[in-house]
Structure 1
Amino acid sequence: MRGKKTILLSVALVLCLTAGCETGSGNPTDTERPHQEKAAAEPGTPVRDLTSAEEVEVDRAEEELVRRCMRREGFRYWPGPVAGIAERKAGGYVVDDVEWARRYGYGRSFDIAAEKARRSHPNITYSEALPEKQRVRYSRALDGDFDDTLTVELPSGGSVRTPRTGCYAEARGQLYGDYPTWFRARKTVTSLTPLYVPRILRDERLVTAVTAWSHCMKDSGKPFESPDDIRRQRARLTKGMSESQARKAESALAVTEAECSRKTSLGKIARALEKDYRERALHEYSEEFTTYQRMRMSALERAGNL
């Protein structure tokens, strides 16, 4: 079946439909999952997922704690850009929010802002202007010592590691209460996608929904076989356009995608399948998942007290 062949290529589902998929300020050096230690979160802490607004609050608090830490180390640090609520909707498997699509398209403005920050954020220009020895000190103060790391094997195979020290580690330890336990739980929960996503991609309910979506897109004058088909062609579709033309074109296409997703329930079906399969995968790691949620709730409380 042609539709089935297409949906099997939809690896974007791995990245953005999962409830454990995270966005935020982040640390580009994160390759971490530490040894298990006693969880700092109290047993009575409420257990639930954070809302997007709450995630924003926690991420901003982390950046503020990093700033304070770097100041103690003798360096300036400007809190990095934190993805807002609207930005956290970007990059999903399928766009199904018509108003969001009309305003943001495929998140082109977010991509541009992120690229600009990577090139010219004050932290970049500041560190690059430091003398070489100071620049090395700055990097170690921020990222930690890569000769002293936490390492762990992931449920899906392979291993990850991260420095035990540095201002990123300190800030997260302050927020979550126990840095090693936090990353053990986080990396366990958020690295499970390879265990269940292939099953979602083979599920006939998703295959059928994508086929219906594709027919809707064709009837609307946008002949694409799947949401991934749009993602693969996105750069080509706007090649040679001015920035304003590209934004307008992407917005129009995203709106059509969202309308067809609503008509065929593609987004709703994909999310429901992800929830079902993910819960099954988490069954074996229920303790880590509970710890993960509790520590996030604890971080939210601490963020509100900064």
Structure 2
Amino acid sequence: MKRNVLWLTAAVLFVAGCSQSSGHKAAAEPQLDPRPLGGAVHFTAAEAAALHRAEEHNVQKCMKKHGFDYRTVPVGDVQGAAAASRYGLLTPRRAAQDGYGLIAQRLSKTPSDPNARPFAGLSETDRRAWEERLKGAVDGPKQEIRLPDGLTVTIAPDSCVSVARQELYGPDWDQQYYTLQGLSNSIADDTLDHPLVTAAERKWVTCMRDEGFRYRDRNDPLKALKKQVDAAGTDSAALQAAGKEELRLATHDATCQTEADLAEQVARAQQQVERNLASSATTILTSYRAALNAALKRATAA
């Protein structure tokens, strides 16, 4: 059975001041943070920022080569993405400070695209030419990458976005990255369905019931919060109330995760799942890591 993970975490403080529930053992910080394939497709905030800037520089260079103006897009919320747990794991400290990151995500502003205004000033013909050079023409060459789950990703290899990636990471990057991303998702799904994890989640349900919450699934707190946030709209008082509720729920959630030894069981289950990986995955992983290390050197040297 495949499960969609709803959990989010972030490194942004919205509201402080939620007391931790009593009667359960405290977690030692830092907590285990298991990630599929040793976090191969997970980047730190510094890595993500450096790689983004390097890619954007390459896109700009490619667009200029073909006679188009392109302004590099600023780095977005790399801190939140880097902090997010693949399995929705929380520590009491993070829960009390950041909650699940739901309100922070709602209030965060995506960096504005500096190309939007110049693009709008172009003629229809020039806009089409600019966009086709950046992303690839609809009738242009395509490369299909088949993922482990049978789905495919379509790439426009002559677009400046693709050329920029190839220049930074190497010609086989897309095939390697998307293959490992799909494999990571499969590992995470199998880990969440592992008996060690489902047993720990049953303990979590019992613990939360003892705390006064009638949840049946670990996604339930976030589902309830999302409804509250959606109902709040742009009302600042309602959003602040939702933020306080987020911290309250997340703090109880983290305490019960600790009580159920959830992080430890996820780590054990993931290790068992990864023992069954094909040798071909190890080969791809080795090549991918070499390409990533080389890209990071180029990005940080720029």
TM band (smaller chain):
0.7 to 0.9
Structure with the bigger percentage of helix = 1
- Asked whether the 8 Å contact 2:76–2:110 carries over to 1, the reply is no
Structure 2 counterpart of 1:162: 155
Query: In 2 relative to 1, CA 239–171 (structure 1 residues): closer, same or farther, beyond 3 Å?
Result: closer
2:297 is equivalent to residue 301 of structure 1: yes
- Asked whether the 8 Å contact 2:73–2:113 carries over to 1, the reply is no
In the TM superposition, 1:88-99 aligns within 5 A as 88-90=82-84, 92-99=86-93
Partner Cα separation in structure 2 for residue 103 and residue 67 of structure 1: 39
2:243 is equivalent to residue 243 of structure 1: no
Report the TM-score when normalising by structure 1: 0.75
Query: In 2 relative to 1, CA 13–245 (structure 1 residues): closer, same or farther, beyond 3 Å?
Result: closer
Shift of 1:229: 2.1
**Corresponding residue pairs, total:** 269
Partner Cα separation in structure 2 for residue 125 and residue 112 of structure 1: 25
- Asked whether the 8 Å contact 1:77–1:123 carries over to 2, the reply is yes
Of residues 211, 214, 229 in structure 2, which corresponds to 1:223? 214
- Asked whether the 8 Å contact 1:145–1:164 carries over to 2, the reply is no
In the TM superposition, 1:1-306 aligns within 5 A as 10-12=3-5, 18-19=36-37, 22=41, 51-72=44-65, 73-90=67-84, 92-109=86-103, 111-112=105-106, 116-117=109-110, 120-146=112-138, 147-178=140-171, 181-193=172-184, 195-197=186-188, 199-241=190-232, 242-306=238-302
- Asked whether the 8 Å contact 2:200–2:261 carries over to 1, the reply is yes
Partner Cα separation in structure 2 for residue 89 and residue 231 of structure 1: 17
- Asked whether the 8 Å contact 1:87–1:107 carries over to 2, the reply is no
Q: CA RMSD in A?
A: 3.1
- Secondary structure, counterpart of 1:10 in structure 2: coil
Moved more, 102-111 or 183-192: 102-111
- Asked whether the 8 Å contact 1:95–1:254 carries over to 2, the reply is no
Shift of 1:284: 3.3
Report the TM-score when normalising by structure 2: 0.75
Partner Cα separation in structure 2 for residue 13 and residue 275 of structure 1: 22
Shift of 1:148: 0.6
Partner Cα separation in structure 2 for residue 279 and residue 138 of structure 1: 47
Partner Cα separation in structure 2 for residue 151 and residue 9 of structure 1: 25
Shift of 1:213: 1.1
Shift of 1:121: 3.3
- Asked whether the 8 Å contact 1:189–1:282 carries over to 2, the reply is no
- Secondary structure, counterpart of 2:36 in structure 1: coil
AA matched with 1:140? E
Partner Cα separation in structure 1 for residue 187 and residue 41 of structure 2: 18
Query: In 2 relative to 1, CA 229–13 (structure 1 residues): closer, same or farther, beyond 3 Å?
Result: closer
Moved over 6 A (4+): 13-16
- Secondary structure, counterpart of 2:53 in structure 1: helix
Partner Cα separation in structure 2 for residue 228 and residue 175 of structure 1: 38
- Secondary structure, counterpart of 1:160 in structure 2: strand
Partner Cα separation in structure 1 for residue 180 and residue 5 of structure 2: 18
Query: In 2 relative to 1, CA 89–300 (structure 1 residues): closer, same or farther, beyond 3 Å?
Result: same
Larger Rg: 2
Partner Cα separation in structure 2 for residue 285 and residue 14 of structure 1: 27
Shift of 1:251: 2.2
